[in-house]
Amino acid sequence: MENNKSNIKIIVDSTGYLDKSFLEENNIGVVPVKIFIDGKDYKENEDISVNELYNYLATSKEFPKTSQPSIQDFFDVYKPEVEKGKKILSIHISEKVSGTINAAKMAINDLKTNAVKVIDSKATIFSIRFLAEHAVKLIKEGLNFEEIASSMEKLALRFFNRFILSDIKYLEASGRINKSEALFGSVLNIKPIMSFSNGVIKLNGVTRGWARAKESLEKFVESIYKTNGIEKIGVMYGKNIEEAKELINKIETLVKIKADLIQVGAAIGNYAGPVWLGVGIQAEQNI
């Protein structure tokens, strides 16, 4: 049997927003997304803090731009581990919404190695977190590299999620919607309800007002709980921590499971704005 603790390395991109203690305890590597602000580029979670980004968004008329990790970024992270004889599980944001996975695959091709397996999380944030936790668990249980990779790919099919945005101007600034749609939505106080569905960002509906939008998240959690069961759940937010805590209290009362509180940083917050909420679920079974 392989000595899994020393033989398998987990790599994630920074959109997983994993706790620093968890990263250090399990020796997990992070390839950061880059943020461009006022002509300067910053590495997410390294050169710019979460609060700095949200403060900038709230006060500036200019919007930052994001850039996926480069092929060289992945090459530089993979190469030392491969040379040590390690096998790598590399977990990333959905391939259908970002070029991150493509950059990772090209780095693997340049290294001419089969020691790296890229795992498409099919979403981001919670899905990267839950997959990394699953990989750590299986490594400790002594499963081999191929068994762990296969189990992670199956687990990604059991993820469900919803996101609500308080202000859609950030979507408009990012080019996700046009100016007329943003103006129409703002005037009518429309709040979009969105999700990652099969790796693609999808509009699932709209509500009039923020209170109703938050209620839609509660109803969504209740629906998944009744139809699929819930093993894990996370609540994601920008700068609005008190609203996130309020939502967690309601969810934990409903499903009797402790929920993760996940503050989301620059790469995702740039599109969602300072005030937004999301729920990510690891279901007991797929539909």
Instruction: State the pLDDT at residue 180.
Output: 41
Please state which CATH number belongs to domain 4-32+69-156: 3.40.50.10170
CATH-assigned architecture of domain 158-283: 2-Layer Sandwich (3.30)
Positions of the chain with pLDDT lower than 50, given as ranges: 1-4, 176-185, 187
Helices (H) and strands (E) in the chain, counts: 12, 13
Instruction: State the pLDDT at residue 63.
Output: 77
Distance CA 57, CA 49 (A): 13
pTM listed for this prediction = 0.92
Instruction: State the pLDDT at residue 176.
Output: 47
Judge whether 107 and 78 are in contact, CB under 8 Å: yes
CB proximity list for 175: less than 8 A, separation 6 or greater: none
215 CB burial (10 A radius; 0-12, 13-18, 19+): middle
Instruction: State the pLDDT at residue 53.
Output: 83
Instruction: State the pLDDT at residue 51.
Output: 83
pLDDT in tens, 142-164: 999 999 999 999 999 999 999 99
Rounded to 5°, the CA angle 245-247-252 comes to 95
Q: Domain boundaries in the chain?
A: 4-32+69-156, 158-283
Instruction: State the pLDDT at residue 178.
Output: 44
CB neighbours (10 Å) of residue 145? Answer: 18
Distance CA 132, CA 28 (A): 9
Instruction: State the pLDDT at residue 172.
Output: 57
